Structure 1
């Protein structure tokens, strides 16, 4: 099947056309009945609750040998790990601390994976925040949602690539799946023409509580295109997955009361349950093949990127974003990693 890069952009309006198709007219696809992850090792970020926890549980249900819950709070991680160990006593379940607002924490977990793991087959980057209030991360000086959903996720992605390449079953590519959002299709992204671009996210005048989550997720899609031009699917298959509108998560926990009330009403009539939504993660991370490299997976299928990404303006923004991102993350060694992967 063609990758997202090879597909034509969708012309159907997101609301209601694509939303109705996503939530009511899509047929779930589950792994083959003989799927067996014995011997394999996976990392799942943000995995103590909601979609991340269910993802961890489903991976273990396919006989995954070792699971690493990468979480911000040790106590919550251990509570989740205890439940999983009880249900799947044959597996090793570890808790590693990861603060997605901290570059040092991200570098530390990548070093830990490189040093302590003899094998790493799958990484699913699920951690994210809605960012409904303007907050600056003191350590980095960046707006919180942009830091967590984009910059930190991109840093962790790149730092894990050489680990995945080096520590897997011979002849098999590593798998790295990043969770995105269907709302990115309708991101207004009002500051897209700012130059430089990244600092514009840190100015309160550019903050829009309704658009912040969609546009910070959209940044990841713009950079996925560039990243996967440099990394071979023979080494690591990198894709993004959109789980659909889902109930039973804590994503909107910090949203204003009126927003949460409206969302809860909409979820009651249209949202997927967590178990169904996470089946999209499993499909992206262990079922889909090399044709999904550099692709967005929606409703268990390879889907086009947002229409903006196919335009000349979109390509210009993509190039500018990528250049600024590599400059931002350069002190953490991402340039050398990408150079080594593109030459291999």
Structure 2
């Protein structure tokens, strides 16, 4: 269809696969792919499409209109409401067709052994936060695998009040908005044994994937509230799904606070969104794995990077 010259825009509403929208739409994605939680912003969506597809016919001189800049869309409302009835808008032919999305290529990372991680633990000082996706698509069995992998990272670190401190936040949500649980904060546990018990007691939440709201919550309630100003600040995000909200501004705010962000995607996930969340360069901060069984290996590799961040 696109080869025939049809310009395709795809709009996803609800918990829809971003890769499917991406595969359907024309390039570039920023112009042609839009995703919302519900229909409450449909009037705004139509207005934006009208501006993009139907630029003003009156110009001061004959010229081709410039390409539109990417449009920042408003945050979703906290509760679903019925959309207002939009005025009819005359648009050019826009057609969608269902195709199978392409799987993102996993990021290739160098092999890192556990011994390499252990070599620098004595010098570590950092505030490390795990931000875990607890949405329904993860499943309880896989969430337990995530917790086991987190335990492995804790074992490789020099835990202490004046050394490495750890916090853990789990996020999900419903049609009424995001839900975040701060299982423990940075100043709560000062030894590995207590951390192990706390991690083992974490319960799986279920729900939607409100990653943007989770980033906002973690910045306010963990980093801004408890982080030490003189040590490295690190966030490890682990998710298996595409966010049901906007992540651009929340991710920028976290990184602007001086936090190094690593994003780990499991399964068929939106790689561009992982890159948007993570710190630069992508090659060092973005990881993908096919399934949760391979997550432990990725976190083992991450241990060396955390060690580098935590050097004093």
Q: Which has the larger radius of gyration?
A: 2
Q: TM-score by structure 1 length?
A: 0.33
Report which of the two has the higher share of helix.
Answer: 1
Report which of the two has the higher share of strand.
Answer: 2
Q: TM-score by structure 2 length?
A: 0.36
Structure with the larger RCO, 1 or 2 (CA within 8 Å, 6+ apart): 1
